[in-house]
Structure 1
Amino acid sequence: MHDIRLIRENPQAFDAGLARRGLAPMASELLALDERRRAVITELQAGQTRRNEASKAIGAAKAAKDEATAQALMAEVATLKTRMPELEAEENAVGDALDAQLAAIPNLPLADVPDGADENDNQLIAEHGARPSFAFEVKEHDAIGPALGLDFETGVALAGARFTLVRGAAARLNRALGQFGLDVLTRDHSYEEVVPPLLVRDEAMFGTGQLPKFAEDLFQTTDGRWLIPTAEVSLTNIVREKILSEAELPLRFTALTACFRSEAGAAGRDTRGFIRQHQFEKAEMVSIVAPDQSETEHERMTAAAEDVLTRLGLPFRRMKLCTGDMGFSAARTYDLEVWLPGQGRYREISSCSTCTDFQARRMNARYRPEGEKGTRFVHTLNGSGLVVGRMMVAIMENYQREDRSVAIPDALQPYLKGLNRLEPAT
């Protein structure tokens, strides 16, 4: 959510930020609504003041037996009583229109975000790890996965496209990955583990930016609640409508949850395999910080996600997303892309974003700086610590063997009671 006061102060900078997002100028339209709203408020306040003055004057006129003045004042008060509800209705209508427009505008990119139209314009920051070499023809995960426990056919039979039944040793690996991700984030990176609701209200989805613009990408229940597309929604809204002390910051939360996405905007993409599912598990990271901490926190959060990949021995690279590829609420995003030898390319496996105060304004989440009476909006950040399904894909493709078994990374073997490979069913 954008601050209309900042738009008033520098409309050119606001429009320049929109242009970097590929959007048309909007400052003049927003400021016209803001000007009308403020004019109505001024007229309403003046009317209230005059009504109070006239009401008192009526009594004085009657006491002085000045009936003509009393009647004139009474007529003025009657007119004001009729006009003021009209002004209140107009104030509400104009205010709602302004808020609706502000709520539909994405966050503006930070200065260091590269300009660009799509993923082809993203900036390579660093590459980590050596890509594995194979003395045999490598396969994609959807070719070797069914013999290891990725039952695509039964998943589709049970629930339709983009659902998979995971069974046997693959299910054990699925569970191990989730536990491993939580352990790394809580023990080594100081995130507090949370078990949040998977169903949330409209206000929570609005707070993190999924509503109103992206309703078609979500699943809604019959009672009007929403299945979370990521634990970012539940975790970030922990501070909704709160005023924190500066001493409480930073707050860092993590949760391993099921996530639900309709993938309405991804029709035709990754229809095969385990990459893009309607239901998947993810260990999410969320940080709530003071504004002067957010730059450092973004690097810290991304390093935590990188640590997970490094411990699993997976080759990956860090990309800084361009303005055309960032999410709605993000001011800057780093994507971590893992090498998939079966596909012969890097694919996103983690995304870490700083949202500055964009979500905090939507949630009215604030803190009180030490020694100050006033409050400021916090900054929020979110990142994928470990996306279980995509990590399974990465392990299957990078650790595949010629006999179509898959070696288990050393870091995961303690979670699998020493199991060191997934064996294909005979």
Structure 2
Amino acid sequence: MQEISWGPGALWRVLHLLLLLLLTHLPSASVQFSRNSTACEITSGVVTRQGGISAYRRNTGAGPGLHDLSAQTRPRALPSHANLFSRKQHQQEVPDPVTERDTLEKERTSTVAPKTTAVAEGAATLARPNVALLAAPRGFCEGVSRAVGAVEEALRVFGSPVYVKHQIVHNEFVCKQLEDRGAIFVEDIEEVPPNSVVVFSAHGIPPSVRDAAKARGLTTVDATCPLVQKVHVYVKQKANEGYQIGVKGEASDKVQVVESEADVAALTYPPDTKLFYVTQTTLSVLDCMRIEQALRAKYPHIETIPSGSVCYATTNRQAALGALSAHADLALVVGSPSSSNAKRLVEVAKSRNIPAYLVPTPESVDPKWLKGVKTVVVSASASTPEALTNRVMQRLAELGVSVQQEALAVNETKPTWKLPKNLRDAAQLLVAKLTTAN
């Protein structure tokens, strides 16, 4: 029988093989990255490395082995702050396991931020000073995008001036841009000349305004957010069925407004009263929850819209900012003082026991706010355009915030809504006329 020689090289290879076998049978951290996106997909307790390129979650179930984990793609670091806001998809790299240690060391010392860093409850606080976390999702919701698009399309189809009942969205920056293109904002429908074009804002209008517009012979474009319209439809339906709670303007003789748990306690409806409640779409999710719980405790039979009244964008932006605020020293919300959801975002951040400020313009950022701050989280209301948020981020860079990261805290799927039908029809008619003329 031939004697087996156990030289140093052979012994090392055997030990290496045993180590790999052991690690591949241990529960492992699983990370999923989309090959076509720089967003990190995560599903539980996250630890974010300093200068964080990736987020890992310990999974109690069977996960990939060491080889599979090291082969996962990772978001590539961006070359500069300006590129942080580019819509272009960035290429991704698969690191060589042999040079993994050198790569991680470079990431720790680099001042370049990744495109997206996933952060959630349980994430470690970023230790790096002067870091700005740009909350995702943020900014325009689909209802705002649709409303602004309706005004822009009306200007293109009908020409200026186009009148808009109320601010199309609660943001002066957006309204000023539309005014420069020929939009005229009015608060009273009587201010609109007869036979003109008027766009109704995303916030919705009472039936009396529709009647007044018809009486003046106005061409109307209804840019009411479909989610707001859904609330109106439910309220009118329930009011017609004899229910007692509605939205003023749609069921004005059956309204009881409740703004607090104390208001709920003061209600005196008999137990057999048919009750239905809705909420303003931009209210604080937590405040709504407390009031809804009080209503259900007092009137267990009370009904509501099955899918809820609070806008998906309101819910997601509040959840994202709340999660990130737990790991920041300061919160800034880009938005207008007239925006309800902007003010609610400030309240959410303050509930995490950190200072929070509303920032209508880049110049509103006070350098004193940043004193002693290591991490600032930045979000934007649903009526804030990305261009304005970009300018605020540039202002922070000028004030010495050297590292900026887009932090994905909530995955959001936006609905797809078409422009109002009569506006689409008018656009098609215009195209047909131009085609005939040519």
TM-score by length of 1: 0.24
More helix by percentage: 1
TM-score by length of 2: 0.23
